């Protein structure tokens, strides 16, 4: 097979499966890893693939653009509610729980399903803080800082400093994308910093993300699979995807 033919097939495989690895491609075509790396470099030079550790992903997979909070409210509403209900059932069976809620539409669904044993919610989400304060069922602490208009999330030094002084029982963190290669990611560096601080501030950490976000990589990784207790996703997750995640030592809770 000529190099051009092999590269054409590699590009098709990457677009079909979302990523390709050097090791698997070398075995598939009976060539050395160095040959595959040259193929991937050639495709990357033409802006068709983006090189990642151990392989490559389609250029269009490394996303920077972020949908607004309003747009995301109407995406997968039933799946997000199912995820929230399942996540609420993962809370420890004791009173006086402190819970950290990240900004986002999936985490926001938890407002309606939090059990009475939750006594305080800490959040960087202006809409979540407002909804919970309106309900009057739990004490609410809104992290200070700059508010991002796109997500209505507080970010910056003040929010990060406040989180560094906290220790909560459980954190529910949202993600714009997740994959075996890139972990959990988000397009905005300032939000990634806050998400990392949330992960560090909690005894138990659950990432809430619907199945459509699997295989999507955004600019900044905020957590690896080993940094969280589990991913909570919905039943649309494909069996092959579930197997790949579990093989990477990620516990997956399917709502």
For position 23, which CATH number holds? 1.10.10.10
The helix/strand/coil state of 209 is coil
Q: Taking residues 236-249, what's their average pLDDT?
A: 92
Give the residue among 221, 225, 235, 231 at the shortest CA–CA distance from 252.
231
> Which pLDDT value is given to residue 30?
94
Q: Which residues are paired to 122 by β-bridges?
A: 100, 141
Residues 206 and 128 in one domain: yes
Domain count, the chain: 2
168 — phi, psi (to 5°)? -110, 165
204 in Cβ contact with 170 (< 8 Å): yes
Closest CA to 119 of 102, 146, 99, 143: 99
| DSSP string computed for 129-152 | HHHHHHHTSSEEEEPPSEEETTTT
Does 71 have pLDDT greater than 80?
Answer: no
- Do 94 and 26 sit in the same domain of this protein? no
Instruction: Report whether pLDDT(152) > 80.
Output: yes
Residues 18 and 73 in one domain: no
Domain boundary among 46, 62, 78: 62
Claim to verify: residue 57 and residue 79 sit in the same structural domain = no
Q: Are residues 98 and 32 in the same domain?
A: no
Residues 134 and 228 in one domain: yes
pLDDT for 249 beyond 90: yes
Write down the pLDDT at residue 58.
80
How far is Cα 243 from Cα 239, in angstroms, rounded to an integer? 6
pLDDT-derived band at 240 (thresholds 50, 70, 90) equals confident
Distance from the Cα of residue 181 to its chain's centroid: 12
- CATH number where 92 lies: 3.40.50.1360
Instruction: Select from 22, 44, 62 the last residue of a domain.
Output: 62
Burial (Cβ within 10 Å: 0-12, 13-18, ≥19) of residue 143: buried
Give the pLDDT band of residue 248 (cuts 50, 70, 90).
very high
The answer to whether residue 244 scores a pLDDT higher than 70 is: yes
pLDDT in tens, 76-132: 789 999 999 999 999 999 999 999 999 999 999 999 999 999 999 999 999 999 999
Centre a 10 Å sphere on the Cβ of residue 62 and count the other Cβ atoms it contains: 17
- Per residue in 5-29, pLDDT (tens digit) is 899 899 888 877 778 899 999 999 9
The number of helix segments (H) and strand segments (E) in the chain equals: 10, 17
Euclidean distance between CA atoms 37 and 35, whole angstroms: 5
184 and 76 belong to one structural domain: yes
136 & 242 share domain:
yes
**90 within 8 A of 250, measured Cβ to Cβ:** no
| Residues of the chain above pLDDT 70, percent | 94
Q: Which domain holds residue 58?
A: 3-62
Query: Do residue 20 and residue 105 come from a single domain?
Result: no
Task: Tell me: do 161 and 242 sit in the same domain.
Answer: yes
Last residue within a domain, chosen from 62, 87, 105: 62
Write down the residue that tokens 């700059």 correspond to: 146
Are 57 and 97 members of one domain? no
Query: Which three-class secondary structure state does DSSP give residue 75?
Result: coil
The helix, strand and coil proportions of the chain, stated in percent and rounded to the nearest 5, come to: 45, 25, 30
pLDDT of residue 52: 79
Please tell me the least confidently modeled range out of 48-62, 82-96, 180-194.
48-62
Same domain? For 145 and 211 the reply is: yes
Specify the pTM.
0.75
């Amino acid at each position: 097979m000529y190099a051009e033919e092999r590269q054409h097939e590699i590009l098709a495989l990457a677009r079909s499966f979302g990523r390709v690895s050097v090791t698997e491609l070398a075995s598939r075509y009976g060539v050395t890893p160095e040959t595959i790396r040259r193929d991937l470099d050639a495709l990357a030079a033409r802006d068709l693939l983006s090189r990642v550790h151990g392989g490559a992903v389609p250029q269009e997979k490394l996303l920077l653009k972020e949908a607004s909070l309003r747009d995301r409210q109407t995406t997968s509403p039933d799946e997000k509610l199912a995820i929230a209900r399942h996540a609420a059932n993962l809370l420890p069976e004791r009173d006086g729980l402190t819970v950290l809620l990240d900004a986002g539409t999936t985490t926001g669904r938890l407002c309606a399903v939090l059990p009475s044993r939750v006594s305080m919610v800490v959040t960087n989400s202006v809409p979540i803080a407002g909804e919970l304060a309106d309900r009057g069922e739990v004490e609410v602490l809104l992290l200070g800082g700059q508010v991002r208009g796109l997500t209505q999330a507080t970010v910056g030094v003040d929010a990060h400093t406040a989180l560094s002084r906290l220790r909560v029982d459980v954190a529910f963190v949202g993600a714009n994308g997740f994959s075996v290669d890139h972990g959990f990611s988000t397009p905005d560096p300032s939000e990634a910093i806050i998400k990392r601080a949330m992960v560090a501030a909690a005894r138990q950490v659950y990432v809430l993300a619907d199945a459509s976000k699997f295989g999507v990589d955004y600019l900044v990784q905020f957590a690896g699979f080993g940094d969280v207790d589990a991913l909570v996703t919905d039943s649309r997750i494909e069996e092959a995807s579930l197997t790949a995640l579990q093989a990477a030592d990620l516990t997956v809770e399917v709502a």
